[in-house]
Amino acid sequence: PEMVGGSADLTGSNNTFVKGTPAFDAPDYAGRYVHYGIREHGMAAAMNGMALHGGVIPYSGTFMVFSDYSRPAIRLGALMGVRVIHVMTHDSIGLGEDGPTHQPVEHLASLRVIPNLLTMRPCDGVETAECWEIALNRAEGPSLLALTRQGLPTYRDAGQQNMCAYGAYILADCHNPKVTIFSTGSEIEIAMNAKKMLDADGLPTRVVSVPCVELFHAQDGTYQQSLMCNDSIKVAVEAGVRQSWDNFIGPHGIFIGMKSFGESAPYQELYKHFGITPEAIVAAVKAKAAK
């Protein structure tokens, strides 16, 4: 009964509507779902107000690229420390044919640097549930979930422990890693396929899922170092800009991601066009290993 949802005219795309939830509308204001219209800033500001009033946990959905319209209210929510949940879908070039106006490129990096905002990008249904749990339990500030448009495979079973609470964890390991791949969201699938290829070529590879950079940086140094494998070749894979990844891979690490705005095409073709593929990872690793 605490939850009050909504969307900025994108309910069908964001999937933020819970079946059977009555709408908040005149003359009945007992509803739990708000149709905000195309008012991203107003939506985020209204959620801040609801959270400040107390008694409810507001959440809402829009496309990730439209976080630009919401940003002043997201920032103030972080400053005030209110429990608000922003669900941002269509989080990369993976949205496909809508093209570069709707494809986030710099957004993840810019959201991660807002103090007291948790930006979480889960790779599958299990991580999404864990990130949702983190957001629900986080009373000291807002949370943001970055979700894909395209369907994704599931890589692990849900356990008793919320692994996303560590910010990053070993998703797939090996003995004596020669390569460590850090990745998030939809690009985990690409990283896992690259691991298979590298393992087969005699370069044992560890894949680290990084659903929340901020939570990882909050862990103690011992845990952070346990994931790093400092003597391995380090790779970061994300369909966004490089910023926020140098803390993982260093200035000389390999980054597989975006260096420009996107294009309009089916998402499978876009990933090939921008070189975000298992083959590109393998080629870059082998080139570095040969030096």
Q: Say yes or no: 179 and 139 in one domain.
A: no
Q: What tens digit of pLDDT does each residue of 99-122 get?
A: 999 999 999 999 999 999 999 999
Only one residue has tokens 């599958």, namely 124
Q: Which of 93, 113, 146 is the last residue of a domain?
A: 146
- 64 found inside a domain: yes
Active-site residues, by number, are 40
pLDDT classification of 38: cutoffs 50, 70, 90:
very high
The CATH number given to whatever domain includes residue 229 is: 3.40.50.920
Q: What does the pLDDT read at residue 18?
A: 87
- 153 found inside a domain: no
Q: What does the pLDDT read at residue 255?
A: 98
Residue whose C-alpha is closest to residue 130's, from 115, 145, 116: 145
Q: What does the pLDDT read at residue 29?
A: 86
Asked if residue 40 lies in contact with residue 47, where contact means CB atoms within 8 angstroms, the answer is: no
pLDDT classification of 1: cutoffs 50, 70, 90:
low
Q: What are phi and psi of 263, to 5 degrees?
A: -145, 170
- 158 found inside a domain: no
Whether residue 41 has pLDDT greater than 70:
yes
Q: What does the pLDDT read at residue 291?
A: 84
Q: What percent of the chain has pLDDT over 70?
A: 100
Question: Residue 97 and residue 251: Cα distance in Å, rounded?
Answer: 33
Q: What does the pLDDT read at residue 77?
A: 98
Q: Say yes or no: 31 and 119 in one domain.
A: yes
| Per-residue CA distances from 109 to 113, 143, 214 (Å) | 7, 15, 11
Asked if residue 208 lies in contact with residue 180, where contact means CB atoms within 8 angstroms, the answer is: yes
| Per-residue CA distances from 276 to 13, 41, 198, 240 (Å) | 25, 32, 16, 10
Q: Which of 113, 146, 179 is the last residue of a domain?
A: 146
Q: Say yes or no: 16 and 132 in one domain.
A: yes
By residue range, what is the domain housing residue 116?
Answer: 3-146
Q: Say yes or no: 81 and 203 in one domain.
A: no
- 151 found inside a domain: no
Q: Say yes or no: 26 and 122 in one domain.
A: yes
How many structural domains comprise the chain?
2
Q: Say yes or no: 136 and 167 in one domain.
A: no
Q: What tens digit of pLDDT does each residue of 152-205 get?
A: 999 998 888 999 999 999 999 999 999 999 999 999 999 999 999 999 999 999
Whether residue 94 has pLDDT greater than 90:
yes
* Mean pLDDT within 65-85: 98
Q: Say yes or no: 239 and 173 in one domain.
A: yes
Q: What does the pLDDT read at residue 158?
A: 86
The CATH number given to whatever domain includes residue 30 is: 3.40.50.970
Amino acid at 237: V
State the pTM of this model: 0.94
